[in-house]
Amino acid sequence: MSLPGAQLGESIARFFTALTKSVVESGNAVASGQAELVVEKPEGFRLAIDEV
């Protein structure tokens, strides 16, 4: 979830940058024998679960 008042285009770009980084790091972890999913929240975002 993007924070209120954030620029939509910039927020989407940051989200997809973070998603790409997470996928690459998770792939590297699997390739090195570590079963680890790497997920980092993009700056300026909050997790939907934080709202529950």
**Cα gap 22→6, rounded to integer Å:** 22
pLDDT, one tens digit per residue, over 3-29 is 677 678 887 888 888 888 888 888 888
Average pLDDT over every residue of 48-52: 64
19 vs 38, which has greater pLDDT?
Answer: 19
Please determine, for residue 1, whether its predicted confidence score (pLDDT) is greater than 70: no
Confidence (pTM): 0.57
Rounded Cα–Cα distance for residues 19 and 26 (Å) = 10
pLDDT band at 39 (very low <50, low <70, confident <90, very high): low
13 closest CA partner among 37, 38, 39, 42: 42
